[in-house]
Amino acid sequence: MRQLHLGVNMYNAGIHAAAWRTHDDPFAYLDIDYYRDLARTAERGALDAVFLADIPGLREDPRVRPTLGLEPTVLLTGIASATTHIGLAATASTTFNDPYNLARRFSSLDHISRGRAAWNAVTTYDPVVAPNFGLPELPDHDDRYGRAEEFVDVVNALWDSWEDSALVGDRRGDLADADRIHTIDHRGPHFSVRGPLPLPRSPQGRPVVVQAGGSEPGKRLAARTADAVFAAQTTFADGKRFYDEMKRRAREFGRDPSTLKILPGLCTVIASTEAEARSRKAELDELGGQEWAIARLAANLGVAPEELDLDAPVPEHLLANLDEKRGSRGFARAVAGYAREGGLTARELALLGGGGHRYAIGTPEDIADTIEHWFRNGAADGFNLMPDVLPSGLETFVDHVVPELRRRGIFRHDYSGRTLREHFGLPRPPSRHEPAVRAV
Amino acid sequence: MRQLHLGVNMYNAGIHAAAWRTHDDPFAYLDIDYYRDLARTAERGALDAVFLADIPGLREDPRVRPTLGLEPTVLLTGIASATTHIGLAATASTTFNDPYNLARRFSSLDHISRGRAAWNAVTTYDPVVAPNFGLPELPDHDDRYGRAEEFVDVVNALWDSWEDSALVGDRRGDLADADRIHTIDHRGPHFSVRGPLPLPRSPQGRPVVVQAGGSEPGKRLAARTADAVFAAQTTFADGKRFYDEMKRRAREFGRDPSTLKILPGLCTVIASTEAEARSRKAELDELGGQEWAIARLAANLGVAPEELDLDAPVPEHLLANLDEKRGSRGFARAVAGYAREGGLTARELALLGGGGHRYAIGTPEDIADTIEHWFRNGAADGFNLMPDVLPSGLETFVDHVVPELRRRGIFRHDYSGRTLREHFGLPRPPSRHEPAVRAV
């Protein structure tokens, strides 16, 4: 029977901007033990993966919100030894990295974690990043995706540069079979890369590739190359539309659509009663102030915060043509979906959907209802959870929602494999240089 | 009393090319537990640091020698949790990295290890690397060092971008003081970087900076910016000359010369008797064949292996003007030193000094004699150990040479601090933005 996939986004103190204000140590998000404990909790719930978002720059206002600080591949390596099964998914930008170094770093993480690495390939939409890398502003959206298409191909080619059978290990003869280690000799508009990598193929063959883009080129890239998509839809209707579209697109690339997992983000606020959950959310909103949320909504809509009438719905003209603006189009469209279906004021929308992901607020049964509804009715293969406050929001999920999902027969009781590919039910790809693959 | 500093180079299966042939598992060098065990052994001996060399490319012939495979910052992060005191020094290239990403990665390692990170800044001399990064060949030596000078400055500025006092953590007020977080607004010939980093200053303030260059621009860079130099001299006379020169150069930059540690590489072959040690070395040479060693010597001399008469000393004309050739000049000059003083044949030289570091072969007392002689007579502040075979060569060192060095009063019995800066006796630098520093 088809099983749900669940990741958890270890977003600093929690996805709610005020989460750090509830911590005894507001700087816990800098401590490796904090993440190790989160990952162990997620593993106790047999979740598929822990996930780290990333922006190589100081985006958040440091007065009111922790930053995505520790570099994700390094941070996840620090977690690997504290866990044995859970997948380790790190975001890294195709715009602000080099494919050789990135391919090697994720291959290293896959070796060190014994097959649990995933790369969330993003093009980076935040304009604050570009000047850290010598650029006055971000390359155009299409340029970024042109580079991303080529970047992902180069990385995959490098991951295949050693055949599995290149390892010989004959102590009186050869360590490796040089004929099974291949240059990639890539020459394209953005990159020229000879290869091979300096290390053998990793346990998963290729680390899992995730993408999050919701724009036209983002969806094309994901349909062609990703194993999973971290989607951003706020309503079931939008979720189902996106799900169907991505499965169709995967099919058009000749892929088995079940090998492309669609995992929307799901912000959670969980309590024993719905009223308690709502009041918990309201307390966090109160604690955090509203400015950050309104600023983020405005940024996603491409306007200044002052231009929004906070007590009226967002006007239609701001929701139209989001594609013509810079920034993260998927997020912007998810916000628009919420705005259209919910009939919310701009303020309510800001507090609920500023990040562009669905908020599920209620009892463990309520959360399980949302998850089951999307999962059984073709809007999701699983979710990337974004608890309001960490670690408590994750602990509650593991202790109360996971058992409910198991009762409903849609979530594993324990891991049946060791690698992230195995958790996702994805085959281990052979290197393109293996004779059986070359012969096709 | 002045104390010795000791690091150990965790060079795959050991510095001897045949080391892997003595391992039960020839691919142990891909296993994180192998490195964790090495680091724990080094920590048992109260060594200052473990060290990883690096080349982002496949340099070694994979048939006969393991590669420097796993990416060093990721690998050291995987070791951090298995240890509590030992420093973690990773090599990373200034030619093939970006300063913003690198500064952030080492700051992250310093946070995760609670103050034990060191960056060995190299310009990368191996021509095999360039085509992995879109370049037909390496930039010229001077160009590489021009970039390196600016790269190190940018990284240090980024490490200073958050003042220590930027952390507020007022749960009803501000998380951080935005006035104490600074852009760096660097504009130079190679880089344009705005900053700040997205994470607070790390435990050491700035991770320790190491350099290995032996050329004129390499020495200048090290004298100005490094906390330690991994030197490459094969004879005491050359070692003393280099030591004196570097201390003088540091003084010329207005530095206290004791804050620049000179740590030559020392290859070790240790046994109960000298004869046993020599026969151990001969067995390894026999096991590995000589081709790799001769090829490396030839590469360092800038000639084809066929051009060398193996049973005669290396001719003077090959030893002269090494500076005009590409490649690692420090290594080449160290080889030349050995050749001149030792009167060795090219074959003997290849088997002893191909890597450009001194070989110490003998009993624990012999090894301690060499170390003490260099240390007490102004040729070294310590050594970067390169055991012939790992882990056995390190275990023998820790169990038999370390106690001997302690008996002689030149090596610590236990750590007195927690950070690598503390092991090295180096002060923790304040951020350049701290009022007390700005006022100078």
Please judge whether A112 and B74 are an interchain contact, meaning their C-beta atoms are less than 8 angstroms apart.
yes
When CB atoms are compared, the residue of B25, B70, B199 closest to A70 is B199
Is B56 within 8 Å of A181 when comparing Cβ atoms?
Answer: no
> Is residue B350 in some structural domain?
no
CA neighbor of B149 nearest in space, from B214, B202, B227, B95: B95
Which one is predicted more confidently, A67 or B240? B240
Asked whether residue B135 is assigned to any structural domain, the reply reads yes
A54 is in an annotated binding site: yes
Residue A155 lies in a domain: yes
- Is there a contact between A305 and A298 (Cβ–Cβ < 8 Å)? yes
The model's pLDDT over B176-205, given as tens digits with 9 standing for 90+, comes to: 999 999 999 999 999 999 999 999 999 999
The answer to whether B141 is annotated as binding is yes
Q: Report the distance separating Cα A252 and Cα B247, nearest Å.
A: 66
The pLDDT value given to residue A327: 60
Residue of A nearest to B73 (CA): A74
Q: How far is A202 from chain B (nearest CA, A)?
A: 10
In a domain, A298, yes or no: no
What range defines the domain where residue A134 resides? 5-266+359-438
The rounded percent of chain B whose pLDDT value lies above 70 is 96
Mean pLDDT, residues B275-296 taken together = 89
B138 contacts B129 by C-beta, under 8 angstroms: yes
B423 labeled binding residue: no
- Interval B382-425: pLDDT, tens: 999 999 999 999 999 999 999 999 999 999 999 999 999 999 99
Helices (H), A302-386: 316-319, 329-342, 346-353, 364-376
B131/A194 touch (CB, cutoff 8 Å), yes or no: yes
User: Which one has a higher pLDDT value, B280 or B326?
Assistant: B280
The alpha-carbon radius of gyration of chain A (Å, integer) is: 21
Closest-CA distance, A74 to chain B, in angstroms, reads 5
pLDDT at B343 over 90: no
B279 is in an annotated binding site: no
Distance from CA of B258 to the nearest CA of A (A): 32
Average pLDDT over residues B292-296: 81
pLDDT at B130: 96
Backbone angles phi, psi at A102, to 5 degrees: -65, -45
Output the domain CATH number for residue B143.
Answer: 3.20.20.30
Please report which helix (H) or strand (E) contains residue B331, including its range.
helix B329-342
Which residue, among A130, A31, A45, has the nearest Cα to A86 in the 3D structure? A45
Are B109 and A67 an interchain contact pair (Cβ–Cβ within 8 Å)?
no
Q: Is the pLDDT of residue B323 over 70?
A: no
pLDDT of residue B240: 97
pLDDT at B433: 95
Which tokens sit at B43? Answer: 């920590």
Amino acid at B427: P
Instruction: Please tell me which residue, B131 or B334, carries the higher pLDDT value.
Output: B131
Query: How far is the C-alpha of A403 from the C-alpha of A405, rounded, in Å?
Result: 5
Could you tell me if A262 and A246 are in contact, meaning their C-beta atoms sit under 8 angstroms apart?
yes
B-chain residues near A198 (CB < 8 A)? 55-59, 67-69
Q: What is the largest CA-CA distance in chain B?
A: 78
Which run of H or of E encompasses B264?
A: strand B261-270
Verify whether the Cβ–Cβ distance A193 to B133 is below 8 Å. Answer: yes
What pLDDT does A355 receive? Answer: 64
Q: Is A141 annotated as a binding-site member?
A: yes
What integer best gives the mean pLDDT of chain B? Answer: 93
Confidence of residue B440 (pLDDT cuts 50, 70, 90): low
Residue B321 is predicted with a pLDDT of 67
Pairs across A and B, CB distance < 8 A? 198
Enumerate the residues of chain B whose CB falls inside 8 A of the CB of residue A71: 101, 104-105, 108
Q: A37, A414 in Cβ contact below 8 A?
A: no
Per-residue pLDDT of chain A in tens (440 residues, 90 and over written 9): 799 999 999 999 999 989 999 999 999 999 999 999 999 999 999 999 999 999 999 988 899 989 889 999 999 999 999 999 999 999 999 999 999 999 999 999 999 999 999 999 999 988 899 999 999 999 998 999 999 999 999 999 999 999 999 999 999 999 999 999 999 999 999 999 999 999 999 999 999 999 987 889 999 999 999 999 999 888 999 999 999 999 999 999 999 999 999 999 999 999 999 999 999 999 999 998 788 788 878 887 888 999 889 898 888 888 776 655 556 666 677 777 777 777 788 888 888 765 678 899 999 999 999 999 999 999 999 999 999 999 999 999 999 999 999 999 999 999 999 999 999 999 999 999 998 777 65
Q: Does a structural domain hold residue B339?
A: no
The single residue listed with the structure tokens 């603006």 is A325
Number of structural domains (chain A) is 1
From the number of C-beta atoms within 10 Å of its C-beta (0-12, 13-18, 19+), residue A403 rates as: middle
User: Over the stretch B23-81, which tens digit does the pLDDT of each residue have?
Assistant: 999 999 999 999 999 999 999 999 999 999 999 999 888 999 898 899 999 999 999 99
Residue A339 lies in a domain: no
CA nearest to B239, candidates B330, B325, B315: B330
**Quick check: is B323 in a domain?**
no
Within a domain: B341: no
Q: CA neighbours within 13 Å on the CB side: how many for B331?
A: 20
Cβ separation A175–B62 shorter than 8 A: yes
